[in-house]
Amino acid sequence: MKKHDIKHHLSKDLLLAYSTGQLEEGFSLAIATHISMCDQCRAELESLEAMGGAVFENLEPNEIDVDAFAKTLALIDQTPEQAKVKPKATGLPEPLADYVGCDLDDIDWRPIGMGVKQKILVNSEKVSARLLYIPAGTAVPEHSHKGREVTLVLKGAFKDEIDYFGPGDIELADGDTHHTPVASEGEDCICLAVTDAPLKFNKLIHKIAQPFLKI
């Protein structure tokens, strides 16, 4: 994927939580994908991991079972062959490409209104992650947030009351964020959006449709 002058980066809290394995699956996917696109955040992550490694070097080692390695290999051998090898996706950055498992043009989008389409990747009790396809010039309905949202632009761009976001940019939203994202003219926008709570739409029609769209 073409490099872009990324202006909106990850917070240090998110990078630290990611480096220590404290994030839910959907958020980890967004962070890992952004890091694959962003030299600055990748360098910051490497710095955090180096500091963590220095701390571990000073810890007393714990003994493990002599057969621990053999048990780990046995678990790997139990993995179905079809789960070990996934089709390679093109048009998406790593590791999202491996996660989606198909070309960008082959994604089975589901319409959610006004030309906007989605592909749900993670839908657990705690976190929802989806790819969003927003036609150029189209606005996502005005909304606020009940929790946290991380949006990563993969293609195209969008703007809202906060700023302009292009490929690789991250927008971090929370309960204080109230906005109407609009895809920029000239190119459709594709982004990865991860939330830990449903959005808060202003209009009744969007509230009614929300449970069916799982937004």
User: Does residue 111 surpass a pLDDT of 50?
Assistant: yes
The per-residue pLDDT for range 83-110, each reduced to its tens digit, is 344 555 567 888 898 888 888 889 999 9
The per-residue pLDDT for range 145-181, each reduced to its tens digit, is 889 999 999 999 999 999 999 999 999 999 899 999 9
Domains recognised in the chain with CATH numbers: 12-98 (1.10.10.1320), 104-213 (2.60.120.10)
Averaged pLDDT of the chain: 82
- Which of 122-126, 134-138, 150-154, 156-160 is predicted with the least confidence, judged by mean pLDDT? 122-126
Residue 142 burial class via C-beta count within 10 angstroms: exposed 0-12, middle 13-18, buried 19 and up: middle
User: Does residue 201 surpass a pLDDT of 70?
Assistant: no
Which helix or strand (DSSP H or E) is residue 116 part of? strand 116-123
